[in-house]
């Protein structure tokens, strides 16, 4: 696997976007633990985007939860699987990141695994977002 494979994955997701099956997602998180006396905030906010295919959560993901209901709602209805093209991203998505969808729906990335066979060039990130 190589940089060329990452470019191919990005091209595949770009084609899916043209067909309405992928979208630009915005990720945000706070990094560091420096305290800013002027704002009263700890850490530096980081925001970046990624092109992703958004799918319903797989049955295996849903079955991993011991409790399938939360506040009377099936967990399955609040989970989305995302396949994020790695090529061109400025930061690696990681669990805990806030994710904003194009319709302004937000969620939290609860898991994210890079497909990174050569340990140098991630090709795609596979994650799960809880809305």
> Looking at residue 5, what is its pLDDT?
85
What's phi and psi for 22, nearest 5 deg?
A: -145, 165
Contact between residue 81 and residue 128 where contact means Cβ atoms under 8 Å apart: yes
Cα–Cα nearest to 116, from 129, 125, 128 = 125
Mean of all residue pLDDT scores within the chain:
85
Name the pTM for this structure.
Answer: 0.81
> Looking at residue 97, what is its pLDDT?
97
Counting residues of the chain whose pLDDT is more than 90, the rounded percentage is: 50
Q: Please tell me the least confidently modeled range out of 19-33, 54-68, 107-121.
A: 54-68
Contact between residue 87 and residue 2 where contact means Cβ atoms under 8 Å apart: no
- 96-115: pLDDT as tens digits: 999 999 999 999 999 999 99
Q: What CATH number labels 3-31+44-130?
A: 2.40.10
- Per-residue confidence band for 64, with pLDDT thresholds at 50, 70 and 90: low
Count of other CB atoms within 10 angstroms of residue 115: 15
Q: Please tell me the least confidently modeled range out of 31-45, 67-81, 108-122.
A: 67-81
- Domain positions in the chain are 3-31+44-130
What is the mean pLDDT of the segment spanning 84-89? Answer: 93
């Amino acid at each position: 696997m190589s940089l060329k494979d990452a470019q191919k994955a990005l091209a595949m997701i770009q084609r899916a976007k043209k067909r309405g099956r992928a979208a630009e997602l915005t990720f945000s998180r706070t990094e560091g633990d420096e305290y800013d006396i002027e704002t009263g905030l700890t850490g530096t906010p980081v925001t970046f985007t990624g092109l992703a295919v958004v799918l319903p959560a797989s049955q295996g993901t849903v079955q991993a939860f011991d409790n399938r209901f939360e506040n009377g709602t099936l967990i399955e209805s609040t989970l989305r699987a995302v396949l994020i093209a790695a090529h061109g991203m400025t930061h690696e998505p990681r669990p805990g990141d806030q994710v904003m969808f194009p319709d302004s729906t937000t969620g939290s990335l609860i898991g994210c695994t890079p497909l990174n066979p050569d340990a140098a060039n991630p090709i795609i990130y596979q994650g799960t977002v809880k809305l």
